[in-house]
Structure 1
Amino acid sequence: MDMLEGDKLCIAVERIRYLAFTRKQYDVAKRFEVLCQTKKLRTLAALPTCMPTWGACCYLSADVLQNMLSRLRCLRVLCLSGYSIGELPNSIGHLKQLCYLNLSRSRIKQLPQSAGSLINLQMLKLHGCTELTNLPRVIENLVNLHVLDLAGTSNLQDMPFKIGKLKNLQILSKLIVGKGIGSAVSELRGLLNLRGKLSISGLENVADFRDASNGNLKDKDGLTELDLQWSDESLNSENEEGQMHVLESLMPGKNMEKLRILFYGGKMFPSWLGDPSLTNIVWLELLNCRNSILLPSLGRLPSLKILSIVGMDRVQKVDLTFYGHGYVGMTCWSSPSRANEDSGEEFPCLRELTVENCPKLIGKLPGRLLSLVKLVIKHCPKLESSSMSLPSLNELNVEDSNEELLGSILGPSSLTAVTTKGLPVLLHLQNGVVRSSGALRVLSISSCIGLTSLQAAGDILLNITAIEHLKIKNCSRFSETGFFPMLKHLTLKDCQSLKFLPSAITMISCPLEELKIEDCPALTFFANGRLPTVLRRLKIRFCEALVSLPQGLMQIDNSTSNVSHLENLEIVGCPSLISFPEGKFPSSLKILKIWRCFRLEPLSDTMLPKNGSLELISVFNCSKMTCLPGCINCLTHLTELNLHKCTALKYFPETGLQFPNLRKLDIYECSSLNSLPDQMLSRTSLHYLTIGECPGLVSFPKAGWPPNLLALKI
C-alpha cells in the first residue's frame, strides 16, 4: 500500500517502520520532507519493485537521495528500482544495518567505495542496469551477501574482485573473466551454495584450462541454467585447441536444465555435452560457434526438449555421432540404418528444433521426431527435402532455404502455423504440408518473389480454409488471395501486382476483424459491397493508386442493422483519394489517423458522429482543411488531437475547443493559423501542449495557459 498521500504521510510519522510508495515521474524533495521524522524507518521501497525492461523512466532529485541516506540509519531494506539514478552518494555506507538494496533498472554507472561498508548486506540487485560499467573491489568485503543479481548489465566490462571470498553467495547471475588480475573461473570453487542461473563470459581470457577446471562446475548441483560465452573476436584467434580444453573443463553439474554456448571457437565439442548422464538437460543452444566442424552427440539426451543450432558456418554434414551412435561416416541428417529408423530413440522428447545460418549444411532432416511441436529452418539453402513424419508438429517456419522442405512433411493434422520467407521458386501452395493440414490457422508468406497466388488453377485448397491469420509481404507478383471463410486478420504489404481485394471480404458474413494494406501501388479499389460489420481495425498505407474507400466504412443511417464496429481507422499516403463514402464515421470509432492524403476532402460536420467514441484524431499534411468542423466539440471522449502540416488551417471553431477530457494537443507547421481560442485554454484536463512552426501566430491567448499543464513546447 502506498502510504504517501499527496505530499503527506497518512499516519503518525514517528511510528512508521515500513514504508512503500508509488513512484511519480518526477519525485522532488517536498514529497519526502516528512521522512526526516522517521528516525527508525526500516523499510523504504518504491513500488512496484519489479520494473519493465524500459525502466528508469522516473526521476528522483539528488538532494532527496543525499538527505534520505544520511538520516535513515536504521534502514534494512532500500528499493529504488526504476529511478534514473546515475550514482549513489557516499552516505550509502552509513547504512550499516542494510540487508537488501535494489537498484534494478536504474542508470547507475558504478557503486561508491563506501558500499564496501555494508557488511550486513545480503541481497544486491542491479538487474537491468545497462549503464553499469564496473564494480568496486570493496565488494569482496560483503561476506554476508547471498544474492548478487547482475543480469542485463550489458556494459559491465569486468569484475576485478575476489568473488571467491563471498562464501555465502547463492545467486550469482554473472561472472566476467577478466584479463590479468581480473576474476577467474577458479573463484567459483569455494561457492558451494550457488543455485539458479549463472552466466560466464570472457572465457577467451582463460589463460590456463586448469583455472576453468578448478572452478568445479560439475559439483555445483544447485545450478540449473548455465551460459558459457566467448567474445565474437575470439573466433578469429589461433587458440582453437585452447578453447577446446577450456570447454572440456566446464562440464556442468548433474541437475543442469538449460545450457547455452556462445561464440565458442573450437573445432570440436567435448564428449560430456551429449553424455546421457546429463539427464535433466531440457534446453540447449549452440550459438555462433562458427569454427566447429561437427555437431556434438545429442541424440541420446533423454530429456532434451528445445534445441537451437545457429551460426555454425563450417558444419557441412552431420555424422552418426549427432544421434549418439558413437561412430562417424554418414553425410546426412536422416538415420542411416533401418534399426535406427524403427527405434525412435533419437531425440525422444524433442519439442522444438531450430537450425539457422548453417549455409554449408547438406543432407536431410531427421525422418522421425515424434514429439516435435515447432520446427524452424532459416538460411540453410543446401538442406535437402525428405519424407518426414512429424505427427505432433504445430508450427513450421522455413526461411531462405530449400522450398521443397515445405512439401516434404507428411501431413501433420496438428499443424496450426506456417511461416515462409525468401523462397523465390515458390509459385503457390498446393502440395505437402499446407495442402494436407486442416488445422492450419496462421499463414505468413514474405519475400517469395515467384508467388502469384495461394492456389493453383483448379485447386480449391479445401484443407486450409480454416485460416484465421493471413499475412503476405514483399511478394511482387502476388495478385490473388483466394477466399478463406474463417479469416479474421489479413495483412498485405509490398505486393506490387495486387490490383483488387477479393469480393469475399465485403460479405456481411465475413468474420474479418483486422485488415492492413500497405505499399500496394497497383491497388485501385475495393470490390463492391460493404465491409464486414465485425471489422475493428482498418489500416491503408501508401497505396498511391487507390481512388476510393470501401462502402460500409461510414454509417448511412441510424438503423441497428449492419452497424459497424470499427474502432481504428488509419489512412496514410494515399494521394489519389478524393473523398470518403457517404455517411458518418461509426460511433464505435476510437482512433482516426489521416496522413499525407493531399487531395482527400477535409473532415466536416457531416462526417463526425455526435457523442461518438473518438479518443484520438491525428491529421497530417492535409492541405484542404481551413477550419475544424464545429461539431468536433461533441466528441466528449477525445483525449488527444494532433494537427501537423495543415497549411490551410486558419482558425478554430467559434466555440473554441471544449473537449472536457482533452489531455494532449499538438499543433505543428500550420503556417496559416493566426490565433488560438481562449476557450480552449480553460480546459483543466489539458496536460501536454505543443505549438511549433506556426509563423502566422502573433500572440498567445490573453486568458493564459491551461492551469494543469505538465509540459509546454513552443
Structure 2
Amino acid sequence: MRKDYEFDKGELALLWMGEGFLERPNERKTKEELGLEYFNNLLSRSFFQRLSGRTCYRFDEKMDTNQEYCMPENTRHGSFLRHEYEVFTKFKAFYRVQGLRTFLPITVQRSLRWPPCYLSYKILVELAPKLPRLRVMSLSGYLITELPSLICNLIHLWYLNLSGTFIVTLPESVGDLFHLQTLSLQNCYRICKLPRALGKLSNLRHLGNSNTLRLKDMPVEIGKLRNLQTLPKIVLSKVGGLGLRELRDLKLLRGTLSLLELQNVTDIEDVKEASLRCKNELDALQLTWGSDIDDSQDRSSEEEVIELLQTHEDLRTLTVEFYGGSKFPSWIGDPAFRKLSSISISSCSGCTVLPPLVQLPELKRLQVSGMPKVKCIGNEFYGSGVVVPFPKLETLRFDNMPNWEKWTPFGDGEDVQIRLPHLQQLEISAYIVACSKVLLESFCNLDSLIDLNIGAITGMSHLPSEIMQSLAALEVLECWDCNELLSQWPSEIPPEHLTHLRRLVIQDCSQLVSLGEGDQQLPCNLKALELFGCVNLVSLPNDLSNLSALESLPANVSDVERLQIKGCPSLTTWTTSHFPIALKKLSIRNCTRLEPVSDTMFPQDSSLLLEDLSLCNWHNFTNLVHHLHGFSHLVELYLCECQGLEHFPGQGLPPSLRDMEFREIEALNTMGLTSLREFSICGGFEELELLGDNVCLFPPSLINFYIREFPRLSSLGNVLENLKLLRRLSVMNCANVRELPSESLLEQLWHLEICDCPLLKKRCLKDKGDYWPKIAGIPCVEIDGSYIYKQSAV
C-alpha cells in the first residue's frame, strides 16, 4: 500500500472484514467493534500516524505509475495508486494472479476537488473473469457509467466500493453476490434507483448511499436485510417502494439515518412500526419532507408523524427540513437529550415559535433558517429551569427570517445583551429585516469568536462598537449586501486590536466609501482582502475588485501575498514604490487606463516570489512583460487581449513556467520552457489554417495541450509529433478542423476532448467514424460534453 495514505479507521475496519480478518467468534462484540479494537491497539503501538484527526499508515510505494509490473503468481492482495487516466498496460500483471483477493486503488491526497479518474473499460470486462476469488474490489472515484454484469459473477466478493462513480443504476444480477457485506454507493450523484435484488443479500451489513442526490427509488426488499447496520439515506415511497414500516426489522441500524420524503407517510401505524426509539446506536437523524409541497394544503398530520419519530435520548445530531406543522414536537428541546450537540432547523414555514433549545446542555452548533412565521424569540426558546443559556454553544447561524422582530434575552433587568462566551462562529444574514442591527448590537463577550459572517443587515453604517470591542480573537470577517454600510470600522474603535484577523471579505456593499476613517489602518496580520461590487469605494489597500470609482492604489501593501485588480476602468496610478516581496499572485484585468509599472517596482536581486501572473485587457503591460525573465518562481502565466504583444522582449520567459494560457495573443515562444507541462491557446491567429504556420514548436515536456477558437484552422499539422509525453489533447470551437495528429500520437493519449468541431466530431463517432478505431483505446474520449466508452477499448 502507498505510503502516506490517509484513511478513516471505520473504512479500514470494513476492509479487514471484507478480507475475513475479523471472523473470530465473539458474542459480546460485532465484527466492526472488533476491527476498531484491533485498530486502536495498533495505533497505541505507533503502527499508524494520526493526521488532522484522521490516520495515515506509512507503506512503501509499489504500483504508482502506468507502467507494467511483474507480480508473483501467488500474490493475494494488490493495491495501487490511482491515476487520473488508467491504461490497460498497468493491469496486465493481474492476469497471472488468479488467486488475487484484493483489488484496491488508493488516493493519497483526498480533496473535494479531486478530479474523476478514467478507467479503460477493457480493464473491467477482461480482467474481472480472471479474478474469480476476489473478495475486496474498489472502483471508487472512476468515471464509469455502468457496472458490467461480469462483476456480479465474482460470487466471493465481501466488499464492493463504487463510491464516487457515475453509475445510474445497478444490474439485478448484483443479487448473486450472496457473501457481500459492504456495498458503498456514497457520492454516486447520478444513481437514481436500486434494484429489487438487493433484498437477496442477507449478509449485507453496510449499504452506503449518502450524497446520492438523484436516488428516488428504493425497493421495499431492503427491509429484509436484517443484518444491515449502515443505511444513511432512506427515500420513502408512497406506493410500492420502501416505507417506514420496513424499518421495523432493521434493528441494528447505527450512525446516520436520513428519512426523506416524509410527506409520503399516510398511515400513522407505519411510523409506530419503525420504532426509531429502539434503535439505540443511531447518532444522527435527519427528518425531511418534500420541498415542493403547497403550503395551502392541510399539513396538520405532520405534527403527529414527527412526534412519533422520537429517537433514543443519546442522539447527537438532529436535522429537520421542510416540516409543515405549526409547532415542533415535545421531544425536540427536551433536556433529557443530554448528548445532543448539533441542531439544524430549516424551511419549517408553518412554525411560529422555536423549540426550547436553550435547555440542551451539550449543544455546540445551532442553525435556524427559513422560518418566515417566527416574529419573536422569547421564553418559549429558553424553557424552564435554565441557569446558563447555551453553556457550550460554539456555532450560531440565523438566516432568512424576514419577519423576526425581537429576541428577548434570558434573565431579568435592563441588560439586553446576549452572552455566549464560547461562541466561535456567528452568522446573521439574509433578510432578517426588522431586528438585524439591534440583534447584532445585543451580542457581547464574544472573546472566543473566530468567524463572523453578516449579510443583508439594514440600518448599519459600520460595525457596531459593542461587538467590535470583543473581537480580539477574530480570524475571518465577511460582510455582504449591507447597502447602508459606509465604512467597515467605527471611528472611535480602530481595528488595530484585531491582531488575529487573516481574511476580510466585503461584497456588494454599494455605499461603502472606505474601510476606516481618517488614518485607520488595516489589521497588521491580514493576509487576504477580497472586495466585490463596492462601486463607491474610493480608497483601500491590497486586493481590488469591481471598484469603478477607485482612482489610486495606496502604498502600504508590503505583506500582501495576493493582489487582484479587476474591473477598475478609472484606476490610473500605482502609488506603491515596489511590489511586496511576499507577493505570490498578481492579477490585473480590465484596467485599461492603469499606468505601466516602473523599473523601481521590481526587486533588483530577483527575490520576488511571484508564482501566478494574470494580465487581461491592460494596455500598458509592456514593461511588466520585459521583466518576466526575472520571475524565477513563476509557474502560471495567463495573458488575454494584451494588444500589440507580438513577441516577448528581453530574455524571454522564465524556464520555471509550467502552465501557460494565451487568449488573442499572437506572440508565442515556448521552446526554451523546459518545465512547461500545460499550454492553452485561444484565438489570436485569424488566418491560421494549419497548426505550425507562424506558430513555434512546443517543448517536449508538454503534457496537456488545449487549442480553441480558430475558425479557419483545418488541421493540427505535425507540430505535436515530438511531444512524447502528451497525454491530453483538447480541440474546441474549431469548426473547420477535420484532421487529428498521427495515429502514433493518438495511441499515447489518455484524454481526447472535442467540442464544437462538427467535421471532426463526425469522423470520431463511436463505431461509425473512420477515426474511431484509432481513438477507441484512449481511456477518456469526450465529444461535446459526453463521455464515449467502448468495451473493447485497449
Q: For 1:667 and 1:212, how far apart are their aligned partners in 2?
A: 61
Q: How does 1:467-506 map to 2 (within 5 A)?
A: 467-481=501-515, 482-484=520-522, 486-489=524-527, 490-501=529-540
TM-score, structure 1 as length reference: 0.84
Work out whether residues 148 and 169 of structure 1, in 8 Å CA contact, stay in contact via their aligned partners in 2. Answer: yes
Match in the other structure for 1:359: 402
Change (3 A) 1:393 1:134: closer
Which deviates more, 565-574 or 302-311? 302-311
**Aligned twin of 2:593:** 576
Partner of 1:63: 122
651, 655, 677: which one pairs with 1:663?
677
Aligned twin of 2:325: 266
Classify 1:17/1:315 alpha carbon distance in 2 versus 1 (closer, same or farther; 3 Å): same
Tell me by how many angstroms 1:135 deviates.
0.8
Counterpart in 1 of 2:299?
A: 240
- Give the conservation status (yes or no) of the 8 Å contact 1:551–1:581: no
**Structure 1 residues 354 and 608, CA, compared in 2 at 3 Å: closer, same or farther?**
closer
- Contact kept, 8 Å, 2:349 with 2:372, in 1: the verdict is yes
Q: How many residues align?
A: 655
Shift of 1:16: 1.2
Alignment of 1:480-629 (within 5 A): 480-481=514-515, 482-484=520-522, 486-489=524-527, 490-501=529-540, 515-527=542-554, 529=555, 531-532=557-558, 534-554=559-579, 564-583=581-600, 585-586=602-603, 587=606, 588-597=609-618, 599-602=619-622, 606-610=626-630, 612-629=632-649
Following superposition of structure 1 onto structure 2, how do residues 36-115 of structure 1 map, counting pairs within 5 Å? 36-48=95-107, 52-54=111-113, 57-115=116-174
**Which letter maps to 1:356?**
D
1:339-394 residue CA offsets vs partner (Å, 9 max, x unmatched)? x7xx625444433333322222332243479xxxxxxxxxxxxxx99333334444
Question: How far does residue 177 in structure 1 lie from its aligned partner after superposition?
Answer: 1.3
Give the one of 625, 636, 639 matched to 2:658: 639
Q: Does 1:409 align with 2:443?
A: yes
1:222-277 deviations in Å (ceiling 9; x for gaps):
11111111111235363423212211221112321111111112222222223333
Q: How many angstroms apart in 2 are the aligned matches of 1:712 and 1:233?
A: 44
User: Which amino acid in structure 2 is aligned with residue 218 of structure 1?
Assistant: R
Partner of 2:198: 139
Deviations 1:483-512 (A, max 9, x none): 1352423333333233333xxx6xxxxxxx
Higher deviation after alignment, 303-312 or 293-302: 293-302
Instruction: Establish whether residue 207 from structure 1 lines up as the match of residue 266 from structure 2.
Output: yes
Q: Which residue of 1 aligns with 2:703?
A: 687
The letter of the residue matching 1:638 is L
Residues of 2 paired with 1:368 and 1:607: CA distance? 66
Distance in structure 2 (CA, Å) of the matches to 1:179 and 1:547: 65
- Could you give the per-residue CA deviations for residues 384-435 of structure 1, whole angstroms, max 9, x where no partner exists? 9933333444444333442122322345444454433223422234632114
In the TM superposition, what is the alpha-carbon distance from 1:11 to its structure 2 partner? 4.4
* Structure 2 residue matching 1:260: 3-state secondary structure: strand
State the alpha-carbon separation in 2 of the partners of residues 161 and 50 from structure 1: 38
Matched, 1:312 2:312: no
Q: CA deviation at 1:570?
A: 0.6
Closer, same or farther: CA 438–702 of 1 in aligned 2, 3 Å: closer
Secondary structure, aligned partner of 1:212: helix
C-alpha separation between the residues in 1 aligned to 2:223 and 2:564? 58
Q: Distance in 1 between matches of 2:71 and 2:444?
A: 73
2 CA distance for matches of 1:290 and 1:68?
Answer: 54
Q: Distance in 2 between matches of 1:568 and 1:222?
A: 49
Q: Secondary structure at the match of 2:679?
A: strand
Aligned partners of 1:387, 1:204: CA distance in 2, in Å?
40
Unaligned regions of 5+ residues in structure 1, if any? 326-339, 370-383, 506-514, 555-562
Cα distance change, pair 5–245 in 1 and its aligned pair in 2 (3 A) = closer
Distance across 2 between alignment mates of 1:248 and 1:70: 52
CA deviations on 1:137-167 (whole Å, 9 max, x unpaired) are 1101000011010011111112113222111
Distance 1:160 1:54, change over 3 A: farther
How much has 1:688 moved relative to structure 2? 1.9
Q: Matches of 2:278 and 2:353 in 1, distance apart?
A: 28
Relative to structure 1, is the Cα distance of residues 168 and 46 closer, same or farther in structure 2, using a 3 angstrom cutoff?
same
Structure 2 CA distance for partners of 1:107 and 1:524, relative to 1, 3 Å: same
Alpha-carbon contact 1:552-1:564 (below 8 Å) kept: no
The alignment partner of 2:258 has SS state of strand
Distance 1:237 1:135, change over 3 A: farther
Compared CA separation, residues 385 and 314, structure 1 to 2 (3 A):
farther
User: Which residue of the partner structure matches residue 179 of structure 2?
Assistant: 120
| Residues 111 and 466 of structure 1, relative CA distance in 2, 3 Å threshold | closer
Trace 1:217-232 onto structure 2 (pairs within 5 A). 217-232=276-291
The whole-number CA distance in structure 2 between the counterparts of 1:7 and 1:702 is 26
Residue 148 in structure 1 maps to residue 204 in structure 2? no
**Aligned-partner residue type, residue 588 of structure 2:** I
Partner AA of 2:74 in structure 1: R
What is the one-letter code of the residue matched to 2:75? I
Larger relative contact order (C-alpha < 8 A, sep ≥ 6)? 2
The whole-number CA distance in structure 2 between the counterparts of 1:116 and 1:461 is 64
Q: Distance in 2 between matches of 1:212 and 1:254?
A: 18
Cα pair distance change 1:627/1:450, threshold 3 Å: same
Deviates more, 1:81-90 or 1:51-60: 51-60
Alpha-carbon offset, residue 99 of structure 1: 0.3
Other structure's SS at 2:272 match: helix
Give the Cα–Cα distance (whole angstroms) in 2 for the partners of residues 583 and 44 of structure 1: 59
In structure 1, what residue type is equivalent to 2:289? Answer: W
Shift of 1:704: 4.1
Aligned-residue offset at 1:105: 0.2
CA distance 1:207–1:521, change in 2 (3 Å): same
Residues 71 and 162 of structure 1: is their aligned pair in 2 closer, same or farther, counting only changes over 3 Å?
Answer: same
Question: Would you say the 8 A contact 2:396–2:427 is kept in 1?
Answer: no
More divergent stretch after superposition (351-360 vs 136-145): 351-360
Assess, with a 3 A threshold, how the Cα gap between structure 1 residues 615 and 524 changes in structure 2: closer, same or farther: same
Whole-angstrom CA distance in 1 between matches of 2:168 and 2:218: 14
1:290 lines up with 2:304 in the alignment:
no
Deviations 1:176-216 (A, max 9, x none): 21121111212121222211111111211111111011111
Are 2:692 and 2:719, in contact at CA under 8 Å, matched by a contact in 1? no
- Give 2:72's aligned amino acid: V
Is the contact made by 1:520 and 1:542 (CA closer than 8 Å) also made in structure 2? yes
- C-alpha change, 1:198 and 1:702, in structure 2 (3 Å) is closer
Is this contact kept in 2: 1:55–1:105, CA < 8 A? Answer: no
Separation (CA, whole Å) in 2 of partners of 1:300 and 1:601: 62
Task: Report what 2:419 is aligned to.
Answer: 389
Higher mean displacement: 142-151 or 399-408: 399-408
Return 482-491 or 214-223, whichever deviates more.
482-491
1:189–1:42 distance in 2 versus 1, CA, 3 Å: same
